[in-house]
Structure 1
Amino acid sequence: MSRGGFSWKRVTGISGAKSNFSKMTGVPLTKSGRQQKVGRTVSGGCLGIVIVLITPIFLSLLLIIIF
């Protein structure tokens, strides 16, 4: 069994600060975490479907108003 290695990030508290920030905001700081969260939101029910359908309409209206 691996005992792990020495980590400066852990000694200086960076790992804990990142963890606390993610828990407070609900936003994962890793790329894979963000991708998983987006995947759950889109495929996780009605809210995801609504977001997917409304986003292109909203962007189209925004472009029409700007130009």
Structure 2
Amino acid sequence: MGRKKKGIPGLSFSWKRALGISAAKGKLSRQIGIPLTRSGRQRKIGKAMGCCVPLFLIFAGFSAIIASFI
């Protein structure tokens, strides 16, 4: 069996939010433009790769057309 959760349901306390660490990390992340979390970095890279794939396919198609004329 798993651990039983103690406390009041729906009420949680985060010491990182209370000290302002979460806000500082978010602010820094927006300033430098690079997410500080692993999932955020992966999402950013995935979005960039998703943009590059159609461009690569178009470039490959034009290359194939040009190669067929030569």
Instruction: Give the TM-score normalised by structure 2.
Output: 0.57
- Which residue of 2 is the match for residue 29 of structure 1? 36
- Ranges of 4+ aligned residues in structure 1 off by more than 4 Å: none
1:38 equivalent among 17, 38, 45: 45
Q: How far is 1:20 from its partner? A: 0.1
Instruction: Output the CA distance in 2 between the equivalents of 1:22 and 1:37.
Output: 12
Aligned residue-pair number: 47
Structure 1 residue runs without a partner (length 5+) = 50-67
Structure 1 or 2: larger helix share? 1
* 1:9-41 deviations in Å (ceiling 9; x for gaps): 011110000000011011111111100100111
Change (3 A) 1:29 1:4: farther
Change (3 A) 1:33 1:12: same
Q: Percent identity?
A: 45
Instruction: Output the CA distance in 2 between the equivalents of 1:27 and 1:38.
Output: 10
Asked which structure has the greater CA Rg, the reply is 2
- Which residue of 2 is the match for residue 11 of structure 1? 18
Across the aligned residues of Structure 1 and Structure 2, the Cα RMSD in angstroms comes to 2.2
Structure 2 residue runs without a partner (length 5+) = 1-8, 57-70
Q: How far is 1:45 from its partner? A: 3.5
